[in-house]
Amino acid sequence: MMKKYLPLIIALLLTLPAPASEPWVGLCVSVADGDTITVLRDREQVRIRLYGIDAPEGGQDFGTVSRRYVGDLCHRQTVTVTPVDTDRYGRTVALIEADGVSVNRELIAAGLAWVYPQYCKIPECAQWRALEADARAAKRGLWAHPDPVPPWEWRRRGRGAAQQDAQSAAEYRGNTRSGVFHKPECRDFDCANCTAVFPDRSAAVDAGFRPCGTCRP
């Protein structure tokens, strides 16, 4: 009987996130957007992707508002990082607390992020979905917009448009130390740490990099 259900049990286990690592404490030194921050740990800058949520991108409605909200909660503050996973870009995916407040949860409650259905698997996600529903009903934050577009859909549309337009599909390079990305004509395009390569701007932003202030990609 056990053998009959073994494949199903294995499949269910594979859908669960990896067990959380031990929490650690560091200083939040920068906020890239509503779901990506950088935390200083023992003199090392660690790029963090907030677990289970997806905030509006910089080019979307409420993208700037979401980033500022996270900045008000944790920028230049000591935060507790509870790692849950590592994403394909090498970022730590984690729960963040600032002064005892869950930043992940607060973004959902304020109506400034979506619960990320594909990746939110821990027990807290059920509560976050309820908070999202409350924010939606109250038209709080981004839910005041008549037709808010989820970030994952917005990124998909952006990549599709880039593929249709060869001129917009130029390679971008990101500096893995500073977290800044550049377009080909930038003077810093060939910097020593510009080893992250992206097919388009959306991919660089999705990876948590921010645009260069000089070449403005």
Does residue 114 sit in helix, strand or coil?
strand
**Distance from C-alpha of 17 to C-alpha of 198, rounded to nearest angstrom:** 27
CB-based contact 154:161 (threshold 8 Å): no
| 57 tagged catalytic | yes
| 91 tagged catalytic | yes
Which of these is catalytic: 47, 49, 105, 173? 49
DSSP 209: -
Which residues partner with 49 through β-bridges? 36, 93
CB-based contact 117:108 (threshold 8 Å): no
Which of these is catalytic: 41, 68, 91, 136? 91
Token representation of residue 133: 């529903």
CB-based contact 206:155 (threshold 8 Å): yes
Which helix (H) or strand (E) is 58 found in, with range?
A: none
CB-based contact 178:192 (threshold 8 Å): no
What are the residue numbers of the active site? 49, 57, 91
